[in-house]
Structure 1
Amino acid sequence: MTSDRLSVRRFVLVALILPAAIVLSGLAIQVVVLPTLPDPVAIHWGTSGAPNGFGPAWITVLLTVVVGLGFPALIAVSALSSMRRGDRGFAYRLLGAVALGVAVLMTVLGTWTLVLQSGLEDAADGPSVLVPLAVSFAVAVLSGSLGWLVQPHEPWRPVAVVPTEAVPLAPGERAVWLQRVSIARSGATVLVAALVLMVVLTTITLVLTPDPVATWVMIGATLLIAALVLTTLAFHVRVDDEGLTINSVAGWPRVHVPLDDIDRAAVVEVNPMGQFGGWGMRWGPAGFGVVLRAGEGIEVRRRSGKALTVTVDDAATGAALLNALATRVG
Structure 2
Amino acid sequence: MATRRSLALVTGVSAVTGAALIPLVSLPLRDRLPDPIATHWSGGGPPDGSGSLTAALLICCGMWATICAGALVLGWSGWGRRAVRTRTVASLFAGAVFTAGVLGLILNANLDRSSWRDAGGMGAGGIALLLLASAAGGLIGALLGRIGADSREPAPGAPRRIRIGAGERAVWIGYVHSRSMILLGWALTGLGALGVLLALVPAGPLPRSSWSGALALVIGGVVALALSSARVTVDARGLGIAAGPLRLPIRRIPLNRIGTAWAEDRSPAQAGGWGYRVGPAGTTMMLRGGECLVVENTGGRRFAVSVDDAERGASLLNSLRESSAA
TM over 0.5: yes
8 Å CA contact 2:232, 2:240 repeated in 1: yes
- For residue 281 of structure 1, the aligned residue among 276, 281, 297 is 276
Partner Cα separation in structure 2 for residue 14 and residue 221 of structure 1: 38
Matched, 1:102 2:95: yes
Aligned to 2:35: 35
Q: Conserved in 2, the CA contact under 8 Å of 1:182 and 1:234?
A: yes
Structure 1 unaligned residues grouped into runs of 5+: none
Q: Is the 8 A contact 2:174 2:231 kept in 1?
A: yes
Q: Secondary structure at the match of 1:282?
A: strand
Is residue 2:157 matched to residue 1:162? Answer: yes
The answer as to whether partners of 1:176 and 1:240 remain within 8 angstroms in 2 is yes
CA spacing shift, 1:101–1:242, aligned 2, 3 Å: same
Asked whether the 8 Å contact 1:104–1:140 carries over to 2, the reply is yes
* Equivalent residues in 2 for 1:225-264, closer than 5 Å: 225-251=220-246, 254-264=249-259
Displacement of 1:175 in angstroms is 2.1
For structure 2, which runs of at least 5 residues remain unmatched after alignment? 200-205
User: C-alpha separation between the residues in 2 aligned to 1:139 and 1:282?
Assistant: 26
Among 70, 73, 81, the residue aligned to 1:77: 73
Distance verdict in 2 for CA 1:294–1:128, change over 3 Å: closer
Cα offset, 1:43, TM superposition: 0.8
State the Cα distance separating 1:72 from its structure 2 match.
3.7
Correspondent of 1:171 among 166, 174, 178 = 166
Return the TM-score normalized by structure 1.
0.68
- 1:15/1:96 contact within 8 Å kept: no
* 1:162 alignment partner, SS class: coil
Aligned to 1:45: 43
Give the distance between the partners of 1:223 and 1:110, measured in 2 at CA: 33
For each residue in 1:257-293, what CA deviation from the matched residue of structure 2 results, as whole angstroms up to 9, or x when unmatched? 2544433332143434565322332112431122345
Query: Which of 113, 121, 129 matches 2:123?
Result: 129
Partners in 1 of 2:285 and 2:217 — Cα distance? Answer: 23
Counting only pairs closer than 5 Å after superposition, residues 1-330 of structure 1 correspond to structure 2 as: 3-4=2-3, 7-9=6-8, 11-13=10-12, 16-21=15-20, 33=33, 35-37=35-37, 43-46=41-44, 51=45, 54-57=48-51, 61=56, 64=60, 67-80=63-76, 82-83=77-78, 87-118=80-111, 119=113, 123=117, 126=120, 129=123, 132-133=126-127, 136-137=130-131, 139-141=133-135, 143-144=137-138, 147-148=141-142, 151=145, 152-155=147-150, 157-183=152-178, 219=214, 222-223=217-218, 225-251=220-246, 254-272=249-267, 275-330=270-325
Structure 1 residue 69: Cα displacement: 3.9
The alignment-based identity, stated in percent, is: 23
Query: Which string of whole-angstrom CA distances, capped at 9 and with x for unpartnered residues, describes residues 31-64 of structure 1?
Result: 88461546xx651334xxxx26733448x94874
Partner residue in 1 for 2:203: none
Going from structure 1 to structure 2, the CA distance change for 1:285 and 1:294 (only over 3 Å counts) comes to: farther
Q: 1:150 to 1:244 in 2, by over 3 A?
A: closer
Q: CA RMSD in A?
A: 4.5
Q: Is the 8 A contact 1:69 1:103 kept in 2?
A: no
SS of corresponding position for 1:250: coil
What amino acid does structure 1 have at the position aligned with 2:84? Answer: A
* Residues 1:140 and 1:20: Cα distance change in structure 2 (over 3 Å): farther
> Which one-letter code corresponds to 2:275 in the other structure?
G
SS at match of 1:173: coil
AA of the residue aligned to 1:312: V
Letter of the 1:44 partner, please give it.
S
